[in-house]
Structure 1
Amino acid sequence: MTPLIFVTGGVVSSLGKGIAAASLASILEARGLKVTMMKLDPYINVDPGTMSPFQHGEVYVTDDGAETDLDLGHYERFVHTRLSRKNSVTTGRIYENVIRKERRGDYLGATVQVIPHITDEIRRCIDEATEGFDVALVEIGGTVGDIESLPFLEAIRQVRTERGPEKALFMHLTLVPFIAAAGELKTKPTQHSVKELRSIGIQPDVLLCRSEQAIPDSERRKISLFTNVSERAVISVPDVEVLYRVPMGLHAQGLDEIVVNQLKLTDKAGPADLSEWESVLDAALHPLDEVTIAVVGKYVDHQDAYKSVGEALKHGGLRQRTRVNLKWLEAQELEESGLAGLEGVDGILVPGGFGDRGFEGKVLTSQYAREHSVPYFGICYGMQAAVVDFARHVAGLEGANSTENDRQSPNPVIGLITEWRTASGDVEKRDEKSDLGGTMRLGLQEQRLKPGTLAHELYGKDVVAERHRHRYEFNNRYRTQLEDAGLVIAGKSMDDTLVEVVELPRDKHPWFLACQAHPEFLSTPRGGHPLFIGFIRAAREKKAGGKLLKEARA
């Protein structure tokens, strides 16, 4: 059985359980252990695929096409393990599995109950996702005390009872607030949170105490005394200016040593080699250049909706010792108030999205970048906006649009595959309706790049694989017309049927590239991503007037 580290949270949400868990996982991986991670979410949705980004934030996509919680993005950015749908489980999925078994008669007519049937299914999912690893971290979403989390907490209590402390460790993240008026850190919320956990049979082995500042030894002793947690296992996790400092801070306090000793992993774990993280931190803290990138989206008031995009842009800068300043712009406001917000930026990125709100602002943004020679990077919907812009303003296709937004468009350059490709070659009715869930092109798919293009130069290979999450595609019926007008189709699916990457010739624009996939999902702070690295380099060149003033490679 794989040793498990269960990560819970208390007091308030949004303390950073995912970052803390991923940081510990990165240290354990740096000690030579084979690590995986898992998220248990208490909401009843089967997955977050149809949830509003305003409520949930980004939907992260794995290689196998699972639509998962954004914390899986943190996990994959901190550890090298590639995760799958097994690593993200919701209450909805648990109940769906149990009900399906009940309908098949698997329970032999027994009354199906939360205990043992729901908790058994939770435990089965944990075992399935963690089998074959040296150690696994399992994060339980929500906050201790929420009624929705109780089945998950009961399941992990059972695991600890059966397997013992050498196979299951409890790590609890809490808030130690600083009350400015009193000039004091307050430990009482942490004490109450641990009391709540203990009331359901879970005694934490480790406490991660989030605060605005480092927690003094005197307060750590007080927390230890009232929570029955060893003082050395009360870990201070203060706010940091750079996210990637967290692994070093946890390692300096011996968190990984506590874990390795309790879970009897000393024979497998060597000394921690954090040199890669030290290089990342050094590049982040000591940049030699900086650029400003405008991100034009639909949900910019809730930037968690673009978490991976923001991180990938920063990763592209890290590889060149360049600080990336993000200027978030609401696409709909650009439609209504003009494009003045785009003036003076060094690059423009239009990320993915759905629906017609703000789409015309994205099209105008593409036109501005194209006509003003500003580096442009379009992702998913950002590619579709670029194609619509080019079709309208360069190819002269009046009323060009996506059928997602205008089903009566005379020139539907973007549409559902069923709208432009059928067995007979006839166009089907464009008023066809389909469900929002489960109808998208999802997951890792290969594409072939055209030699001599910017995309081929950046990747340095003929075939690449990227993760997808979209329903609408470039309409093949307009391929020849748009290519004749000067649009470069730089990447296509392996069967040559779907357009994956478009760009402008470099004699027409210094850097204009848009892709249907989501390359941000494969970017990491230690490696970056070729497209984001190239985009930030182009932004640096624009800022320097076409020629880099200094080379600044990490």
Structure 2
Amino acid sequence: MARYIFITGGVVSSLGKGLMAASLAALLQARGFRVRIRKFDPYLNVDPGTMSPYQHGEVYVTDDGAETDLDLGHYERFTGVSAQQSDNITSGRIYRDIIAKERRGDYLGATVQVVPHVTDEIKAFALADEDGLDFILCEIGGTVGDIEGLPFVEALRQLRNELGRERTCAVHVTLVPYIAAAGELKTKPTQHSVRELAGLGVQPDILLCRCEKPLPDSDRAKIALFCNVRKEAVIPALDAPSIYSVPLQYHAEGLDAEVLRHFGLDSVAPVLSRWEDIVDRHLNPEGEVTIGVVGKYVGLPDAYKSLNEALTHGGMANRVKVNIRWIDAELFEKGDAEIAALLEPMHGILVPGGFGERGSEGKIASVRFAREHQVPFFGICLGMQMACIEGARNTAGIAEASSTEFGETKEPVVGIITEWMSPEGQQTRAAGGDLGGTMRLGAYEAKLAGNSRVASIYGATTISERHRHRYEVNGAYREALEQGGLVFSGMSPDGLLPEIVERPDHPWFVGVQFHPELKSKPFDPHPLFAGFVEAALRQARLV
């Protein structure tokens, strides 16, 4: 019988509820419990798949093809538990399903209302698939008081009553700001946030107080008194030197112990050696490399959140610090001088995924620089497609090579795919159809050439990786590209869809159609990122 931990936030957004949920789950795992984390998103989009990265950050894709909130990436990276479609719900999906039921007549003529129909759907989502789990952590997006989040808090209130205190715990994350002019921390924002939550019928059991200065014992006592919680349940959460330090920090402050005390559970001491090793590798590197990431959403690092973390994991695997230089691809469309000035200091060049024509010529130019200057290169999704176009233009003699994503072209080295085979059977998409949920999404197998670099890196010739794209490299150009030195070393099992390309005559040149960053974890770095950082380290020693 699973126990539920509900996580809300107040005062301001971006306090780190997702990181807190992931860290608490990791601590419970370290004590031997089985956990799963779910995210409730109040926005009206069905999923974040059609949202701009500048609006929402990256879209995290699961094995079963769900486009989800980036917090699910934190959940996976910290727990190793593969996220799935049923771990992320939005208001848009709930209302879509309710309206479909109403149109079918499923409500038998009843008036459809927020209470009970919307709240019942939210509760059903929270309670689904609990078999075999000890804890289910449910994070509610946004802040307390947001109008779109009210149905979720109401559903939380109902679940607290229905399941009882012995099966539920409410954790509220708040801000205790430091006012420099006064020289002190202020507890009033936390008090008001808790009062707002209590006014909605939910009394928090534990307060996680984000602060940039140590929280004095007197302030903890004050918060406990005015917020109606135990003093020991007021947990300070100071800024950490690394996100991977957070589980250890929260354990030291007693968060996991307080959760278990709330449920009346005894537990063995947590085994935290894995996290201690991760933190040691991250904070005590024995060298460093600089990787240039040439993208189009570099103004918001959260747009490449999993990529950022996967590079960090690659550094951990090699015990080096990875310095990431975010470079706007459009800067490279001004001329060769700018390209050389920006890329010559790099020990590795990575071109990530993306959509649309903007910045594409700059990405192609960066691929060319990496190829000609023998700098380790890693292309992901659109980055692989740009590597194929660059190879077609400059080594295969196809001067007009381009992608149909950017408009009509005489040489469609990359084109839209309308049919493909998935684990569920043949998938068909219309070129002018809906954008949401219509890409090649989720885990697909690939077969690797036995003598290839990637087969050596993976130590296998069959792999499974997560995809999120609508366009594919055109297999009709394979022979011409391979004559130009770009080898197709990974293909879909039916041999039709290119999955990986590489240049055997280059120190390290790999392009992949999938998103390996989505499966990388600090305790299990993805082999492609570990290999890429290792190649960058060799490059650093040459210069």
TM-score interval for Structure 1 and Structure 2 normalised by the shorter chain: over 0.9
Map Cα deviations across residues 399-428 of structure 1 (whole Å, 9 max, x no partner).
Answer: 100110131x1211000134999xxxxxxx
One-letter amino acid of the structure 2 residue matched with residue 196 of structure 1: E
Residues 1:517 and 1:227: Cα distance change in structure 2 (over 3 Å): same
| SS state at 1:496 partner | coil
* 1:350 matched to 2:351: yes
- Give the aligned partner of residue 32 of structure 1: 32
| SS state at 2:128 partner | helix
- Give the aligned partner of residue 426 of structure 2: none
Comparing 45-54 and 179-188, the one that deviates more: 179-188
| SS state at 1:166 partner | helix
- Give the aligned partner of residue 167 of structure 1: 167
Aligned equivalents of 2:351 and 2:207: distance in 1?
40
Aligned equivalents of 2:352 and 2:101: distance in 1?
40
Aligned equivalents of 1:54 and 1:209: distance in 2?
28
- Give the aligned partner of residue 375 of structure 2: 374
One-letter amino acid of the structure 2 residue matched with residue 401 of structure 1: S
| Cα distance, 1:225 vs structure 2 | 1.1
Alignment of 1:14-29 (within 5 A): 14-29=14-29
Map Cα deviations across residues 243-290 of structure 1 (whole Å, 9 max, x no partner).
Answer: 111101111122112212322443xx4321011000000111110010
One-letter amino acid of the structure 1 residue matched with residue 293 of structure 2: V
Is the 2:416–2:431 contact (alpha carbons within 8 Å) kept by the matching residues of 1?
Answer: no
- Give the aligned partner of residue 279 of structure 1: 277
- Give the aligned partner of residue 228 of structure 2: 228
| SS state at 2:318 partner | coil
Is the 1:420–1:476 contact (alpha carbons within 8 Å) kept by the matching residues of 2?
Answer: no
* 1:512 matched to 2:513: no
Alignment of 1:404-415 (within 5 A): 404-407=405-408, 409-415=409-415
Comparing 435-444 and 142-151, the one that deviates more: 435-444
Aligned equivalents of 2:382 and 2:353: distance in 1?
5
Map Cα deviations across residues 275-309 of structure 1 (whole Å, 9 max, x no partner).
Answer: 10000001111100100111111110011000000
Aligned equivalents of 1:58 and 1:300: distance in 2?
12
- Give the aligned partner of residue 253 of structure 1: 253
2:304 to 296, 303, 306: 306
- Give the aligned partner of residue 141 of structure 2: 141
- Give the aligned partner of residue 538 of structure 1: 535
One-letter amino acid of the structure 1 residue matched with residue 300 of structure 2: H
Aligned equivalents of 1:271 and 1:36: distance in 2?
20
Alignment of 1:424-503 (within 5 A): 432-503=431-502
Is the 1:144–1:197 contact (alpha carbons within 8 Å) kept by the matching residues of 2?
Answer: yes
Aligned equivalents of 1:183 and 1:350: distance in 2?
45
- Give the aligned partner of residue 327 of structure 2: 329
* 1:108 matched to 2:105: no
| Cα distance, 1:435 vs structure 2 | 2.4
Map Cα deviations across residues 180-213 of structure 1 (whole Å, 9 max, x no partner).
Answer: 1211111110010001001011111000000112
Aligned equivalents of 1:221 and 1:432: distance in 2?
61
One-letter amino acid of the structure 2 residue matched with residue 76 of structure 1: E
- Give the aligned partner of residue 362 of structure 2: 361
Is the 1:26–1:79 contact (alpha carbons within 8 Å) kept by the matching residues of 2?
Answer: yes
1:528 to 496, 513, 525: 525
Aligned equivalents of 1:181 and 1:77: distance in 2?
39
Aligned equivalents of 2:360 and 2:259: distance in 1?
49
| SS state at 2:443 partner | strand
Map Cα deviations across residues 453-510 of structure 1 (whole Å, 9 max, x no partner).
Answer: 11011000110100000000010111111112221111011111110000001xx210
- Give the aligned partner of residue 295 of structure 2: 297
One-letter amino acid of the structure 1 residue matched with residue 282 of structure 2: A
One-letter amino acid of the structure 2 residue matched with residue 283 of structure 1: R
* 1:61 matched to 2:61: yes
| Cα distance, 1:441 vs structure 2 | 0.4
| Cα distance, 1:215 vs structure 2 | 1.2
Aligned equivalents of 2:279 and 2:330: distance in 1?
36
Alignment of 1:418-429 (within 5 A): 418=418
| Cα distance, 1:451 vs structure 2 | 1.1
Aligned equivalents of 1:405 and 1:385: distance in 2?
12
One-letter amino acid of the structure 1 residue matched with residue 394 of structure 2: H
Aligned equivalents of 1:36 and 1:204: distance in 2?
21
One-letter amino acid of the structure 2 residue matched with residue 221 of structure 1: A
Is the 1:208–1:235 contact (alpha carbons within 8 Å) kept by the matching residues of 2?
Answer: yes
Q: Which runs of 5+ in 1 are unaligned?
A: 422-430, 547-554
Aligned equivalents of 1:91 and 1:391: distance in 2?
45
One-letter amino acid of the structure 1 residue matched with residue 477 of structure 2: Y
Is the 2:314–2:526 contact (alpha carbons within 8 Å) kept by the matching residues of 1?
Answer: yes
One-letter amino acid of the structure 2 residue matched with residue 246 of structure 1: V
| Cα distance, 1:131 vs structure 2 | 4.1
One-letter amino acid of the structure 2 residue matched with residue 331 of structure 1: A
Is the 1:420–1:475 contact (alpha carbons within 8 Å) kept by the matching residues of 2?
Answer: no
Is the 2:67–2:437 contact (alpha carbons within 8 Å) kept by the matching residues of 1?
Answer: no
| Cα distance, 1:433 vs structure 2 | 2.4
Aligned equivalents of 1:81 and 1:257: distance in 2?
22
- Give the aligned partner of residue 240 of structure 1: 240
Aligned equivalents of 2:180 and 2:343: distance in 1?
39
Is the 1:417–1:475 contact (alpha carbons within 8 Å) kept by the matching residues of 2?
Answer: no
Aligned equivalents of 1:544 and 1:88: distance in 2?
44
Is the 2:24–2:256 contact (alpha carbons within 8 Å) kept by the matching residues of 1?
Answer: yes
Aligned equivalents of 1:439 and 1:77: distance in 2?
26
Aligned equivalents of 2:334 and 2:178: distance in 1?
42
| Cα distance, 1:132 vs structure 2 | 3.2
Is the 2:209–2:235 contact (alpha carbons within 8 Å) kept by the matching residues of 1?
Answer: yes
Is the 1:6–1:171 contact (alpha carbons within 8 Å) kept by the matching residues of 2?
Answer: yes
- Give the aligned partner of residue 401 of structure 1: 402
TM-score w.r.t. length of structure 1: 0.94
| SS state at 1:148 partner | helix
* 1:217 matched to 2:217: yes
| Cα distance, 1:388 vs structure 2 | 0.4
* 1:91 matched to 2:83: no
Is the 1:449–1:456 contact (alpha carbons within 8 Å) kept by the matching residues of 2?
Answer: yes
One-letter amino acid of the structure 1 residue matched with residue 507 of structure 2: P
| SS state at 1:109 partner | coil
- Give the aligned partner of residue 50 of structure 2: 50
| Cα distance, 1:107 vs structure 2 | 1.2
| Cα distance, 1:100 vs structure 2 | 1.6
Map Cα deviations across residues 41-80 of structure 1 (whole Å, 9 max, x no partner).
Answer: 0000000000011010000000000000000000000002
Aligned equivalents of 1:419 and 1:131: distance in 2?
37
Is the 1:38–1:129 contact (alpha carbons within 8 Å) kept by the matching residues of 2?
Answer: no
CA-atom RMSD in angstroms: 1.5
Aligned equivalents of 1:333 and 1:179: distance in 2?
40
